[in-house]
């Protein structure tokens, strides 16, 4: 055993902060042994191979999403130990209402997931997405107006956080007069929870933002059912399940809350990484400035190399095998998207950021299968819009040496969670140009 492998095995990926700054050597180490490998601290099966990740994502019959965001770390009430050789589908259902976040879309399985997901998809129509994107271009300019003349900013506070909250607020039709409250509340809660609704190294679970959102959206839905108007919230209030039944206001409120909870921190991290990268790689910045049509693939390559979601859990519902590895029923698997996206069997020279990579978009940064991220078009559009507008309003964007140190000796800090991958802050400097 090499020194490094001993070191990797001694540290617990889920509880220690050893891999927070750079999880990729650890993921590579796991994959080199096997793309499906049980880690020694919790017995969680780490899935670091691309093909294996897709196989699991696409198979809700063998793998349940219950506890997909927490794994065993927020407590697992299901008595899994005694049933390793059985089909535990019914056992999971019997205990489902005791599992963490059981009322949230990411933890649901079919057929309940299918019904609630369809409710969500009825909110993200192509027309609504187009209107939302038009709003993004205007919003990006307004947000940039607040700091551009200073020639420097902490990008998360100044741009990414408010931008991401206000984009989802617009998508869901939050009335303009309430948006300041949403912005203040959701960003404050984010700071207090250290950027993690779940998945800190101590496995904490924060319900604060969800309660705020449940209350707001239940009230909106009840109001619009009583007094329909020509607005997006009335559309939400009138949406039905696929069988035509009318959801309770809280069902709609949960969907809306999911959009904020799942869409806020993730998008902020993607935005911050995109700007970190153009600050670190002036040659890439120059190419993007010269040819804006390269921006969408740049965003895909950001998602592939530094996707904001390190991974999601699944629970084996029956004894099975993946990649030739036996998986007893009741095993937690961690599908490490960040590792699958650097599997050399799928992506050549996977650690290299290649602006022209042909298959960058095949990454699993947004997951895959039935739970694949419904907010992907939003996150992509937000990043494309932000880059374009910042390029329009500046002639050069740099990393602040005062805050992060000189090139070659930068200091960056990353969120201490096993779910999210991303910077805690990013300070930029830029040369503003007069608006044309």
- Interface residues toward ligand HEM, by CB under 6 A: 65, 68, 105-106, 117, 168, 258-259, 262-263, 266-267, 270, 307-309, 312, 337, 365-367, 371, 373-375, 378-379
Give the helix, strand, coil percentages of the chain, each rounded to 5. Answer: 50, 10, 35
Compute the distance between CA of residue 351 and CA of residue 394 in angstroms, rounded to an integer: 30
| Minimum CB–partner distance for residue 371 and ligand HEM (Å) | 3
Closest distance to ligand HEM from the beta carbon of 59 (Å): 12
- Name the residue among 303, 239, 319, 285 with its Cα closest to residue 395: 285
In the 8-state DSSP scheme, what is residue 152?
A: E
Q: How far is the CB of 50 from ligand HEM (least distance, A)?
A: 14
Nearer to ligand HEM, 49 or 375 (CB): 375
Q: Structure tokens of 344?
A: 């050399």
- 378, two tokens: 């939003």
What are the CA-CA distances from residue 255 to residues 156, 158, 278 (Å)? 25, 28, 34
Smallest gap from Cβ 287 to ligand HEM, in A, equals 22
Q: 129 near 232, Cβ under 8 Å?
A: no
d(CA 189, CA 386): 24
Owner of token pair 């409710």: 119
* Number of residues that make up the chain: 436
What minimum distance in Å lies between the beta carbon of 82 and ligand HEM? 27
Q: What is the DSSP letter of 44?
A: P
Of 267 and 394, nearer to ligand HEM (C-beta) is 267
Q: Which position has the token pair 């055993």? A: 1
- Give me 300's structure tokens: 């895909």
Question: Between residues 263 and 279, which has the closer beta carbon with respect to ligand HEM?
Answer: 263
Closer CB to ligand HEM, 249 or 367, in the complex: 367
Least distance (Å) from ligand HEM to the CB of residue 117? 5
Q: CB of 87: closest distance to ligand HEM in angstroms?
A: 22
For ligand HEM, the closer CB: 153 or 172: 172
Q: Which tokens is 43 given?
A: 């017995």
Indicate the residue among 31 and 314 with the shorter CB distance to ligand HEM. 314
Residue nearest to ligand HEM (CB): 375
Residue 72 is classified by DSSP as G
Closest distance of CB 270 from ligand HEM, Å: 4
Pinpoint the alpha helices (H) of 14-125. Answer: 24-33, 50-57, 89-95, 112-121
Question: Which residue carries 């869409």 as its tokens?
Answer: 263
**Nearer CB in complex with ligand HEM: 378/415:** 378
Nearer to ligand HEM, 299 or 428 (CB): 299
Residue number with CB closer to ligand HEM (8 or 64): 64
Helix, strand or coil, per DSSP, at residue 40: coil
CA 316-318-319 angle, 5° bins: 95
Q: How many CB atoms lie within 10 A of CB 131?
A: 14
Distance CA 78, CA 61 (A): 18
Q: CB 105: neighbour CB atoms within 10 A?
A: 23
* Shortest Å distance, C-beta 375 to ligand HEM: 2
Residue pair 171/139 in contact by the 8 Å Cβ criterion: no
Cis peptide before 111 (omega within 30 of 0): yes
Name the residue nearer to ligand HEM (CB basis): 20 or 373.
373
Q: How far is the CB of 383 from ligand HEM (least distance, A)?
A: 8
Rounded CA-CA distance 359/10 in Å is 35
C-beta of 162 vs 307, nearer to ligand HEM: 307
Q: How far is the CB of 54 from ligand HEM (least distance, A)?
A: 12
């Amino acid at each position: 055993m090499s020194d490094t492998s001993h070191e990797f095995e001694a540290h617990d990926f889920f509880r220690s902060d050893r891999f927070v700054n750079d999880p990729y050597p650890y993921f590579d180490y796991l994959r080199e042994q096997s793309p499906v490998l049980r880690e020694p601290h919790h017995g969680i099966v780490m899935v670091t191979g691309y093909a294996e990740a897709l196989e699991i994502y696409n198979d809700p019959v063998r793998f349940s999403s219950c506890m997909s965001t927490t794994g065993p770390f927020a407590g697992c009430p299901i008595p899994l130990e005694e049933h390793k050789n059985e089909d535990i589908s019914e056992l999971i259902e019997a205990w489902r209402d005791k599992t963490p976040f059981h009322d949230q879309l990411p933890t649901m399985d079919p057929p309940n997931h299918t019904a609630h997901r369809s409710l969500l998809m009825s909110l993200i129509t192509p027309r609504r997405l187009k209107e939302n994107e038009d709003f993004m271009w205007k919003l990006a300019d307004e947000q940039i107006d607040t700091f551009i003349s200073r020639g420097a900013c902490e990008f998360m506070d100044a741009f990414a956080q408010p931008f991401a909250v206000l984009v989802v607020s617009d998508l869901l039709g939050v009335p303009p007069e309430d948006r300041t409250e949403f912005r203040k509340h959701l960003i404050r809660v984010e700071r207090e929870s250290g950027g993690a609704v779940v998945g800190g190294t101590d496995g904490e679970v924060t319900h604060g933002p969800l309660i705020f959102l449940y209350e707001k959206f239940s009230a909106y839905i009840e109001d619009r059912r009583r007094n329909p108007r020509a607005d997006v919230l009335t559309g939400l209030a009138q949406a039905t399940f696929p069988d035509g039944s009318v959801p309770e206001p809280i069902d709609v409120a949960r969907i809306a809350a999911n959009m904020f909870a799942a869409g806020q921190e993730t998008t902020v991290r993607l935005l911050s990484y995109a700007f970190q990268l153009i600050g670190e790689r002036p040659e890439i910045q120059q190419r993007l400035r010269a040819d804006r049509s390269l921006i969408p693939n740049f965003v895909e390559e950001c998602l592939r190399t530094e996707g904001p979601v390190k991974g999601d859990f699944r629970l084996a519902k029956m004894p099975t095998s993946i990649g030739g590895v036996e998986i007893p029923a009741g095993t937690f698997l961690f599908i490490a998207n960040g590792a699958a996206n650097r599997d050399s069997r799928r992506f050549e020279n996977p650690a290299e950021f290649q602006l022209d990579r042909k298959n960058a978009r095949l990454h699993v940064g947004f997951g895959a299968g039935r739970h694949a991220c419904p907010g992907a078009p939003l996150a992509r559009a937000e990043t494309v819009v932000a880059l374009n507008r910042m390029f329009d309003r500046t002639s050069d964007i740099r990393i602040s040496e005062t805050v992060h140190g000189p090139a070659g000796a930068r200091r960056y800090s990353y969120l201490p969670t096993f779910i999210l991958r991303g910077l805690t802050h990013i300070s930029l400097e830029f040369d503003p140009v007069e608006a044309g």
